């Protein structure tokens, strides 16, 4: 931790800061600059009580942390790339590029099975589909619940796809884990730490979406909640951040691909459907993500987007998805993936 004192701080006020630093378990180290005194407080910032509150002292101008706060998710903790193997043999984070696809919401057996078969045929290996839906308004469709989970399980049996679905409530953790191969934590719950802990404890792989206004550092720390609760099967999923731009639903931040790869050993998945919110822009975002070496894509596909019960504007048709899968091939190859 670096503590910057205000210009013209008296010796007495400086001494008080040094005393407090020692009291909190750090060793102070003073540097006298041209205008300001700067104090390095040496010690493990994660173990001791934080020094940041020193900022409330009148003589302190700024406190700057030096260490990164995340640990288990960090690249330093694990030099190689972590991979996650699903029951159907799909490996996320390995040599093979993975595509997860399916409808925004599970609506009916017919809708789900039609989609599952089509995406499997086109090359996807994981089926997405929401059974519990977090909706901005209480008057919107909230998902089929356990009935939706059963349909996902049926689709898995029939197609061989693995299943990813969203976990919305701590109280559903066991139930959802019974049916799903990956538990998805949505953007609105990305800092619902109780839910993260509940998800981690099921032992199932967890896909953690980035919150709408979550900094990289906070996202990694939210992931840390999963690993710190004895579950190393974590994937990060970028799904767009909220900015001033209104042309797109969100601003899909593809720079997260190299950043997560630099900072963490966990796989990075890109969700262009939520990220951009317009089906006509999804294909281009997928190509960019593949070229930038994302580990997987999470794509919304629906047999008839115009009649979807949620988020129709961003779902691809079955034909659109099949076409995209063809178009992606050269980019996946160029990125050295299969």
Dihedrals phi, psi of 296, to nearest 5 degrees: -160, 165
The interface region with a copy of itself, picked from 85-93, 118-126, 152-160, 308-316 by CB under 8 A, is: 308-316
Nearer to a copy of itself, 15 or 42 (CB): 42
In whole angstroms, the minimum distance from the beta carbon of 313 to a copy of itself comes to: 4
Secondary structure class of 74 (helix, strand, coil): strand
In whole angstroms, the minimum distance from the beta carbon of 38 to a copy of itself comes to: 6
Secondary structure class of 179 (helix, strand, coil): helix
Report the distance separating Cα 121 and Cα 338, nearest Å: 17
One of 22, 110, 147, 242 touching a copy of itself (CB under 8 A)? 242
Helical ranges in the chain per DSSP H = 11-23, 109-122, 146-159, 173-179, 193-201, 216-227, 256-263, 272-276, 279-291, 318-334
In whole angstroms, the minimum distance from the beta carbon of 16 to a copy of itself comes to: 10
In whole angstroms, the minimum distance from the beta carbon of 190 to a copy of itself comes to: 8
Q: Can residue 236 be called a binding residue for a copy of itself (CB under 8 A)? A: no
Q: Can residue 251 be called a binding residue for a copy of itself (CB under 8 A)? A: yes
Where in 34-63 is the site for a copy of itself (CB under 8 A)? 34-36, 38, 40, 42-44, 46, 49-50, 52-57, 62
What is the CA angle 218-222-226, rounded to 5? Answer: 160
Nearest to 229 by CA among 256, 283, 254, 193: 193
Residue in this structure with the two tokens 């540097």, named with its chain if needed: 31
Residue 218: Cβ within 10 Å count: 16
Q: Can residue 25 be called a binding residue for a copy of itself (CB under 8 A)? A: no
Nearer to a copy of itself, 159 or 272 (CB): 272
The interface region with a copy of itself, picked from 92-100, 115-123, 144-152, 330-338 by CB under 8 A, is: 330-338
Size of the site for a copy of itself (CB under 8 A): 110
Where in 103-162 is the site for a copy of itself (CB under 8 A)? 134-140
Where in 157-196 is the site for a copy of itself (CB under 8 A)? 168-171, 188-189, 191-195
Collect all residues with Cβ–Cβ distance below 8 Å to 205 and sequence separation of at least 6.
84, 86, 92, 181, 182, 183, 233, 234, 235
One of 15, 319, 326, 333 touching a copy of itself (CB under 8 A)? 333
Nearer to a copy of itself, 67 or 158 (CB): 67
Q: Can residue 77 be called a binding residue for a copy of itself (CB under 8 A)? A: no
In whole angstroms, the minimum distance from the beta carbon of 85 to a copy of itself comes to: 26
Residue 244: both structure tokens together: 């001033």
Q: Do the Cβ atoms of 231 and 200 come closer than 8 Å? A: yes
Where in 193-212 is the site for a copy of itself (CB under 8 A)? 193-195, 211-212
Nearest to 247 by CA among 277, 213, 272: 277
Residue in this structure with the two tokens 């990075």, named with its chain if needed: 268
Collect all residues with Cβ–Cβ distance below 8 Å to 53 and sequence separation of at least 6.
none
In whole angstroms, the minimum distance from the beta carbon of 8 to a copy of itself comes to: 9
Where in 265-294 is the site for a copy of itself (CB under 8 A)? 276, 278-281, 284-285, 287-293
């Amino acid at each position: 931790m670096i503590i910057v004192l205000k210009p013209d701080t008296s010796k007495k006020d400086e001494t008080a800061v040094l005393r407090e630093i020692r009291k909190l378990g750090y060793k102070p180290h003073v540097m006298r600059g041209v205008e300001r005194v700067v104090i390095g407080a040496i010690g493990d910032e994660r173990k001791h009580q934080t020094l940041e509150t020193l900022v409330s002292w009148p003589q302190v101008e700024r406190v700057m942390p030096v260490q990164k706060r995340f640990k288990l998710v960090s690249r330093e903790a694990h030099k190689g790339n972590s991979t996650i193997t699903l029951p159907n043999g799909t490996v996320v984070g390995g040599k093979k590029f993975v595509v997860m696809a399916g409808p925004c919401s599970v609506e009916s057996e017919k809708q789900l099975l039609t989609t599952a078969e089509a995406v499997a045929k086109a090359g996807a290996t994981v089926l997405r589909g929401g059974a519990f839906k977090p909706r901005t308004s209480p008057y919107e469709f909230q998902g089929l619940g356990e009935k939706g989970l059963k349909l996902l399980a049926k689709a898995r049996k029939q197609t061989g796809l693995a299943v990813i679905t969203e976990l919305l409530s701590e109280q559903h953790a066991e139930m959802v884990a019974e049916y799903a191969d990956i538990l998805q934590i949505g953007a609105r719950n990305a800092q619902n730490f109780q839910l993260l802990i509940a998800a981690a404890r099921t032992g199932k792989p967890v896909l953690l979406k980035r919150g709408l206004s979550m900094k990289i550092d906070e996202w990694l720390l939210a992931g840390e909640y999963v690993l710190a609760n004895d579950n190393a099967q974590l994937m990060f999923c970028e799904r767009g951040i909220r900015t001033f731009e209104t042309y797109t639903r969100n601003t899909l931040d593809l720079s997260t691909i190299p950043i997560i790869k630099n900072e963490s050993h966990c796989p990075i998945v890109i969700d262009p459907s939520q990220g951009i919110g317009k089906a006509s822009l999804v294909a281009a975002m997928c190509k960019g993500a593949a070229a930038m070496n994302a580990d997987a894509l999470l794509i919304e596909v629906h047999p008839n987007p115009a009649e979807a019960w949620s988020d129709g504007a961003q779902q691809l048709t079955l034909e659109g998805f099949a076409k995209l899968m063809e178009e992606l091939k050269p980019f996946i190859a160029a990125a050295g993936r299969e």
